[in-house]
Structure 1
Amino acid sequence: MTSDYPLLGSPLKLGPRTARNRIWMTAHATLLVKDHLFTQEHIAYYTARARGGAAVITMEAMAAHPTTQPYKGKAFAFDPRMVPEYQKLADAVHEHGTLLLSQPWHRGRQTNGVTNGLPVWAPSSIPCGVYREMPHVMTGKDIAEIIEGYRLSAKYSREGGLDGVEVHGMSHGYLLNQFLSPATNTRSDAYGGTLEDRMRIVVEILDACRSELGPDMIMGMRINSDDGHEGGLRPDDWAELAARFEATGLIDYLSMSHGTYIDRMKIYPTSPEEHGFQLDATETVRKAVSLPVVGVGRIVDPDEAEGYLRDGKLDFVGMARQLISDADWGEKALSGRRKQIRPCVGANWCMSTIFAHAAIGCIHNPSAGRELELNETDIGETPARKRVAVVGGGPAGLRAAWTLARRGHAVTLFEARERLGGQVRWWAKADSRRELVGIVDFLEARLRETDAEIRLGTRAEADTLKDFDAAVIAAGSTGLAHGWTMLRPEKWSGPALPGAELPHVMPYGRMLETDPDIPARALVFDTMGGRQGAVTAEYLARRGAVVEFVTQLGQPSPDLASSRDWGKVHGMLRRLGVRFHVDRELTEITPDSVTLRDLYTGETETLQGIGMVVMVQGGTANDALFHALDGKMELHLVGDAMAPRRVNDAIKEGELAARQI
């Protein structure tokens, strides 16, 4: 432990056990589950975080009953088959002195019955605003089943050798939150009405779990500190609830969070968001209890974490996304290597992978969820040192060069521009994306710690690379501005849309890179539906332009649903005055106007006074050098030079290529 973070590195009593420091990995979905059981990938995932310094790990939320199954990749905590799974996990994690907890939970109305074919259960017939499925109003028999499911979950946790159980469902608007909140509980029986009656199911679950765990295991609760919506439970309400739960004598700690599915950005907000944004409410609840409190809320920096501990806002620093980004956060912080921490940049790519029903991932940690195949500390020294050229200093090239150098190759990186970072630096010019620069700042800093040679302002040609043994081509892509959408594939490679060749028409990447003068009125034409259009519109609007956002899609930037922040982004753009035109395509551009066509009615309209047209249409891979060298040396094509896609693809491919040479 370093003296820099004396509180973060200090042990603390946690019920009948002691946590070796104050770093707590909070629960989050991984989709590494198979057949409702944990896997070898789980063991590797959690063990990496235990080895990396987390003193306590709460595993991902596990179903306490068959009616809570939002997707097939969900573990069943009530299934006796979990016992040997827990034993394998506990053995691996305990080797590093880390405490391991299960988290049985039920989503209540915040799910649907598509996966399991069962009705959604809830205390009252009030549907969730996200899933919009009318729930079955739980009967007394149903409530007894849920309590029994939690009891079995505790029983199997004990038999599996875990250190304890974190009873979940009170936070994030899940089933027990729905019982507790008067906004979602309109019952008139013993489980509704007064606060005591609304608490009844929770107390009965706690009692059932403690009866299985006994006094020698940890039992905590995950609760909210603020529901964050009108009619919901606010900090003072949760403070009273917390005091009442503590008074039962059944629990050893409280883990705090925020929000419900009415506004999921209060749970896991994307950048920008104030770091520690939940902790004022957490502190309100903490003052009402004497139990240890776990706090969360975009905590990514150990200086911040130590400050929150010093200020008494929390007793344990809870992190999920930061520990996805860097499994070794704790070890780095406590051993004087804070500057080597890979920061969570708030991109929510981890959420996007889950949305796609893929295993957990990180926008710039390719080993997250893939520890068995891409262990970041076991990259394998090369048996034969080679001279390797890396062409391109964006995220793909930086990652490839870093891993190649660490493996023992003689690396030269060529970057045509005067600065490393590629398109990520351009994106970070938008206020909402400024944290993204942490991706390339981290990679550049790691690369400069090696003996790799970096040649800025140098465009690599075939002759430049003639003396190298191998090359990684990571030259990126060039933005398109021809004006056609995917609805006209026959014209995609043909003549440009009339007016697309005009000087005030440009791809969004060029606009972000070159910082041209911004006119009074600009138009963004987005055919991709990702974040590019939103970033472009924000950048223009914040610099004073009235922005017309045109897309052939049914809504602007629909892909943001996967990161859960489309509402946050749309609201931000609307407040900036951006005007949306959906279901439209461009048919003509003139020096000061554009003509739009309604895709479904054929009607046209002309927008006047447009001083700039920015195209968001994807790009063309810069692969000419690869083809010029093909067959002459060992070659690897990665990132946008392979096909213009996402940052995580570029970094992963750079890493894989570097391991193959």
Structure 2
Amino acid sequence: MINSSLQNVFSPLRIGPTEVKNRIFSSAHQTSLVREHQPTPELLAYHRERARGGAGAIFLEATAVHPSGLLTPKTLAGYEPAIVDGLSEIRTEVHSHSTRLFVQLFHGGREQIASAPKAPAVAPSAVPTTRFHVEPRALTRAEIQEIIEGYATAAEHMMMAGLDGIEVSSSHAYLPSQFFTRRSNFRTDEYGAEHPLRFLNEIMDAVRERVGDKIAVGCRLALDEMSQSGLSEPECLDFASAVSESLPVDFISFTLGDSATFSGGAFIAPRPRTMPESILARMPQKREGGPVIMATTRVTDIHEAEAAIAAGLADMVGMTRAQIADPHLVRKAQSGERSIPCIGCNVGCIGHYHAGLPIACVMNQATGRETSLPQPTFRPSPAAHGGKRQVAVLGAGVAGMAAAVELASAGQQVTVFEKESEIGGQLRLAGNAPDHQFTWETWRDWQYHLIESLPIKVQLESTIGERDLAEFDDVIDARGAKPYRDERFGGVNNVEIIDAWDFLQNPEHYAADNILISDWGGEPTGLDCVEVLLGRGHTVRYAFGGAMPATNIHYYQQFGYLKRIDVAECEVIPFTQVDAVDGSAVLRGSFSDRVSDLPAGTTKVIIAHGRVPAIDAAQTVGERVGDVDGPRTLEEAALEGYRAARALSN
């Protein structure tokens, strides 16, 4: 039965020669489930699961049309004939669930992430690009024609593989849109910025000539490049109108961001703090007639998609990260079942891509592992082998709750002991900072839903001794981490030393004038303190050790932080952190070891210098998981809790 509140979402739609069964799609996103530029069984299993989950259409990831357009070593090569067989297998599996399969044809131009040895980068003109620090050379006319032929050849391969459509990537300042503007195009020939759509027009004509009307053909465009040097929303809409009116397209897919700049890059896969509203809040009213309009960027609520379609803002909506978290989002929405939420952390999805790792998800350990792990059901199943066991989980942070949920789903009886008055551990503390508030609240609400749905008993404000554990068959120790406190700072007498965790727990307890934040630069805690102070209207001095703040977090979270602290109220002191020398706090250069006085007037220093396990290894009980076994990230905590629980249950 179709959910009546989602009647627009679940209505069919014709896109050129094909019809989709509903209006939710999974947009093109890199999975790294690619070997030697060809599809793999893992890629097939990944998309098969999303088709099983009810998506109306799936767009395969950016697929290069020419060797010079291979963005990374794990980019599909659409120009190679060998790709036809692999994509045919994926198409067969996806079609068996009545889901349509599209692909994105791609050339990054001067935007290149490839590891060494790199091929030379090419672009309309020899203009270096800021974000990836690539120095391209200008394309010759002959090379332009060769790349256009590459699009046509790749499109023909997609048609041979039985795909339903192709999308030419012309967004995010990739090659076609590099011809749009003098920021990247200083040519004086017929492909100059005075003729911004010529290159794209010739691509679309070549593609149409090769595939005709047998498959749908469309274009991905930016709605706004979201950077000072990029295309503004009015300029993007002008280009979209020109494409709609003059190019042979069946659909236009809108997105946000700009790969060429740090500021625009923050909006390619924005975190909730960077972009509280989705792209749907910015969409103009759809024109009558014309191509199908699609939109995707940070849409995680299917009811928001329903409202946008009903209001005529879009015909289809991409819910990509939401389906990374739960590939069965569409099916569950149809039946009224609650889906696994996307918490907006970006850790396993885009974070893994930039690390060259297979896609994953903190909220769903089966993501990217579909060939070996089943999708979670969160319904108790009969206990395997030895029957139901009594399991104690020590700590209700991310690792402990991941273990508890998996154990309870496997039919075990679980009791979670938590010394604090709330679940969440470090994530709860981080939720006091604006960058993590959405992540924390979404995770917390989902955990309480699971606690109510599964046989999990949680005892808050509770500690447990060895005698109490005797009644349990197994124990998982997930007691987390605590801040590293350098004992030398206890003797400092020239300023007040405040631990970052204490500050984030109760920022209102600390007078915030004349504060310096000293951040070791590994994880976000120091930056969180900066944001809390800025949000309370204070000026901030921020010193970070190393070459970059928060080096252990992914690009998109980094970009968001640095964009928000790049304000007059924040004085940044790079490559420096606070040290203690002869009873006084001083600044020490990270590379030079040069010592200098604290800035004049400093009365308080907030210290964020890393973490250590909350319990010594000798004091742990049972199997250690997460930060108690060594502080790391949200991802390792969730994965280790899950794996330990599966090992006990199988």
What TM-score do you get using the length of structure 1 for normalisation? Answer: 0.90
Q: Which residue of the partner structure matches residue 371 of structure 2?
A: 372
For structure 1, which segment, 443-452 or 468-477, has the greater mean C-alpha deviation from structure 2 after superposition? 443-452
Q: Which residue of the partner structure matches residue 486 of structure 1?
A: none
Q: Which residue of the partner structure matches residue 357 of structure 2?
A: 358
Once residues 449 and 43 of structure 2 are traced to their aligned partners in structure 1, the CA distance between those partners, rounded to angstroms, is 30
Q: Which residue of the partner structure matches residue 172 of structure 1?
A: 172
1:553 aligns with 2:546: yes
Once residues 182 and 557 of structure 1 are traced to their aligned partners in structure 2, the CA distance between those partners, rounded to angstroms, is 34
Using the TM superposition, give the Cα deviation of residue 659 of structure 1 relative to its aligned residue in structure 2, in angstroms: 0.5
The alignment-based identity, stated in percent, is: 28
| Structure 2 SS opposite 1:162 | coil
Using the TM superposition, give the Cα deviation of residue 578 of structure 1 relative to its aligned residue in structure 2, in angstroms: 2.9
Q: Which residue of the partner structure matches residue 328 of structure 1?
A: 328
Q: Which residue of the partner structure matches residue 157 of structure 2?
A: 156
Written as runs of structure 1 = structure 2, the 5 A alignment for 1:269-308 is 269-279=270-280, 282-283=283-284, 286-287=286-287, 290-308=290-308
Using the TM superposition, give the Cα deviation of residue 158 of structure 1 relative to its aligned residue in structure 2, in angstroms: 1.3
| Structure 1 SS opposite 2:444 | helix
Q: Mark the runs of 5 or more structure 2 residues left unpaired by the alignment.
A: none
The correspondence for 2:594, drawn from 590, 598, 602, is: 602
In 2, are the aligned partners of 1:395 and 1:440 still within 8 Å (CA)?
no
In 2, are the aligned partners of 1:272 and 1:346 still within 8 Å (CA)?
no
What TM-score do you get using the length of structure 2 for normalisation? Answer: 0.92
Once residues 293 and 127 of structure 1 are traced to their aligned partners in structure 2, the CA distance between those partners, rounded to angstroms, is 33
In 1, are the aligned partners of 2:495 and 2:602 still within 8 Å (CA)?
no
The correspondence for 1:570, drawn from 553, 562, 566, is: 562
Q: Which residue of the partner structure matches residue 520 of structure 2?
A: 527
For structure 1, which segment, 125-134 or 239-248, has the greater mean C-alpha deviation from structure 2 after superposition? 239-248
Q: Which residue of the partner structure matches residue 460 of structure 1?
A: 464
RMSD: 2.6
Using the TM superposition, give the Cα deviation of residue 201 of structure 1 relative to its aligned residue in structure 2, in angstroms: 2.0
Using the TM superposition, give the Cα deviation of residue 82 of structure 1 relative to its aligned residue in structure 2, in angstroms: 0.6
Once residues 500 and 389 of structure 1 are traced to their aligned partners in structure 2, the CA distance between those partners, rounded to angstroms, is 42
Q: Which residue of the partner structure matches residue 470 of structure 1?
A: 474
| Structure 2 SS opposite 1:420 | coil
| Structure 2 SS opposite 1:266 | coil
Written as runs of structure 1 = structure 2, the 5 A alignment for 1:202-221 is 202-221=200-219
Distance 1:351 1:231, change over 3 A: closer
Partner letter of residue 370 of structure 2? E
Written as runs of structure 1 = structure 2, the 5 A alignment for 1:196-595 is 197-230=195-228, 232-248=230-246, 250-261=248-259, 262=261, 263-279=264-280, 282-283=283-284, 286-287=286-287, 290-338=290-338, 340-347=339-346, 349-377=348-376, 381-383=382-384, 384-437=387-440, 438-482=442-486, 496-497=488-489, 499=491, 504-515=496-507, 517-519=509-511, 520-560=513-553, 562-575=554-567, 577-588=569-580, 594-595=585-586
Using the TM superposition, give the Cα deviation of residue 259 of structure 1 relative to its aligned residue in structure 2, in angstroms: 2.6
In 1, are the aligned partners of 2:479 and 2:628 still within 8 Å (CA)?
yes
Once residues 608 and 406 of structure 1 are traced to their aligned partners in structure 2, the CA distance between those partners, rounded to angstroms, is 58
Using the TM superposition, give the Cα deviation of residue 13 of structure 1 relative to its aligned residue in structure 2, in angstroms: 1.2
Q: Which residue of the partner structure matches residue 656 of structure 1?
A: 643
Partner letter of residue 305 of structure 2? A
In 2, are the aligned partners of 1:243 and 1:288 still within 8 Å (CA)?
no
| Structure 2 SS opposite 1:398 | helix
Once residues 147 and 407 of structure 2 are traced to their aligned partners in structure 1, the CA distance between those partners, rounded to angstroms, is 53
| Structure 2 SS opposite 1:597 | strand
Using the TM superposition, give the Cα deviation of residue 497 of structure 1 relative to its aligned residue in structure 2, in angstroms: 4.3
Residue by residue over 1:125-158, the C-alpha shift from the partner in whole angstroms, topping out at 9 and shown as x without a partner, is 2121123333221112101110111111111111
In 2, are the aligned partners of 1:479 and 1:510 still within 8 Å (CA)?
no
In 2, are the aligned partners of 1:462 and 1:629 still within 8 Å (CA)?
no
Partner letter of residue 291 of structure 1? P
Q: Mark the runs of 5 or more structure 1 residues left unpaired by the alignment.
A: 483-494
Using the TM superposition, give the Cα deviation of residue 392 of structure 1 relative to its aligned residue in structure 2, in angstroms: 0.6
Distance 1:443 1:247, change over 3 A: same
1:64 aligns with 2:65: yes
In 1, are the aligned partners of 2:25 and 2:57 still within 8 Å (CA)?
yes
Written as runs of structure 1 = structure 2, the 5 A alignment for 1:34-183 is 34-111=35-112, 115=116, 117-168=118-169, 170-183=170-183
Partner letter of residue 185 of structure 2? N
| Structure 1 SS opposite 2:34 | coil
Using the TM superposition, give the Cα deviation of residue 180 of structure 1 relative to its aligned residue in structure 2, in angstroms: 2.4
Distance 1:245 1:571, change over 3 A: closer
Residue by residue over 1:272-299, the C-alpha shift from the partner in whole angstroms, topping out at 9 and shown as x without a partner, is 1445443465426x43862111112311
| Structure 1 SS opposite 2:488 | coil
Residue by residue over 1:289-325, the C-alpha shift from the partner in whole angstroms, topping out at 9 and shown as x without a partner, is 6211111231111222222112221111112222222
Once residues 299 and 589 of structure 1 are traced to their aligned partners in structure 2, the CA distance between those partners, rounded to angstroms, is 51
In 2, are the aligned partners of 1:541 and 1:576 still within 8 Å (CA)?
no
Q: Which residue of the partner structure matches residue 189 of structure 1?
A: 189
In 1, are the aligned partners of 2:365 and 2:639 still within 8 Å (CA)?
yes
Once residues 575 and 221 of structure 1 are traced to their aligned partners in structure 2, the CA distance between those partners, rounded to angstroms, is 36
For structure 1, which segment, 62-71 or 246-255, has the greater mean C-alpha deviation from structure 2 after superposition? 246-255
Once residues 294 and 190 of structure 2 are traced to their aligned partners in structure 1, the CA distance between those partners, rounded to angstroms, is 31
Partner letter of residue 630 of structure 2? A
In 2, are the aligned partners of 1:472 and 1:637 still within 8 Å (CA)?
yes
In 1, are the aligned partners of 2:340 and 2:363 still within 8 Å (CA)?
no
Residue by residue over 1:532-588, the C-alpha shift from the partner in whole angstroms, topping out at 9 and shown as x without a partner, is 21012222343355433223323433445x333434322422437232222324333
Matched residues, number:
637
Once residues 555 and 7 of structure 2 are traced to their aligned partners in structure 1, the CA distance between those partners, rounded to angstroms, is 35
| Structure 1 SS opposite 2:556 | coil
Partner letter of residue 552 of structure 1? G
Distance 1:407 1:576, change over 3 A: farther
Once residues 5 and 248 of structure 1 are traced to their aligned partners in structure 2, the CA distance between those partners, rounded to angstroms, is 34
Residue by residue over 1:388-416, the C-alpha shift from the partner in whole angstroms, topping out at 9 and shown as x without a partner, is 11111111111111111110001111111
Once residues 505 and 610 of structure 2 are traced to their aligned partners in structure 1, the CA distance between those partners, rounded to angstroms, is 16
Once residues 534 and 362 of structure 2 are traced to their aligned partners in structure 1, the CA distance between those partners, rounded to angstroms, is 27
Distance 1:603 1:622, change over 3 A: closer
Distance 1:238 1:92, change over 3 A: same
| Structure 1 SS opposite 2:197 | helix
In 1, are the aligned partners of 2:52 and 2:328 still within 8 Å (CA)?
yes
In 2, are the aligned partners of 1:518 and 1:540 still within 8 Å (CA)?
no
Using the TM superposition, give the Cα deviation of residue 16 of structure 1 relative to its aligned residue in structure 2, in angstroms: 1.3
Once residues 641 and 357 of structure 2 are traced to their aligned partners in structure 1, the CA distance between those partners, rounded to angstroms, is 21
Once residues 453 and 232 of structure 1 are traced to their aligned partners in structure 2, the CA distance between those partners, rounded to angstroms, is 53
Once residues 637 and 8 of structure 1 are traced to their aligned partners in structure 2, the CA distance between those partners, rounded to angstroms, is 45
In 2, are the aligned partners of 1:332 and 1:341 still within 8 Å (CA)?
no
| Structure 1 SS opposite 2:112 | coil
Partner letter of residue 584 of structure 1? T
